[in-house]
Amino acid sequence: MPRTLPRPIDRPDPLAQDMAALGLLVRNRRAQSELRIDDAAQMLGVSKDVLSRLENGRSVSLDKVFLILNGLGLSLLVLPRSEASTALRKLTPPGTQETP
């Protein structure tokens, strides 16, 4: 049976405070790119199992996380927690709901 693509979210919350949130961002980017998981894994140079584990919020080695993020055109930004709200406000277009 062919796998269906997940439905992408227009403006996902970019704040990944745990593996589950990071996995949702990765899955959403894959959905936006209209890639099936097996095609994405092959393109990224990782196994389907590794990509699936990340998308489901399970443990994946950090080198694989960076390989996947880079391959999907995503970046990881690390900053002090106290600055996260300010950074999110700058990313949120006027008139849209902000993340607390």
| Three-state SS annotation for the chain | CCCCCCCCCCCCCCCCCCHHHHHHHHHHHHHHCCCCHHHHHHHHCCCHHHHHHHHCCCCCCHHHHHHHHHHCCCCCCCCCHHHHHHHHHHHCCCCCCCCC
Residue 2 domain flag: no
| Total tally of structural domains belonging to the chain | 1
CATH of residue 75's domain is: 1.10.260.40
Residue 100 domain flag: no
Residue 24 domain flag: yes
pTM for the whole structure: 0.81
Per-residue pLDDT of the chain (100 residues; tens, 9 = 90+): 556 777 777 777 788 889 999 999 999 999 999 999 999 999 999 999 999 999 999 999 999 999 999 999 999 988 898 998 888 888 876 666 544 4
Which residue segment(s) compose the domain that 31 sits in? 19-91
Residue 31 domain flag: yes
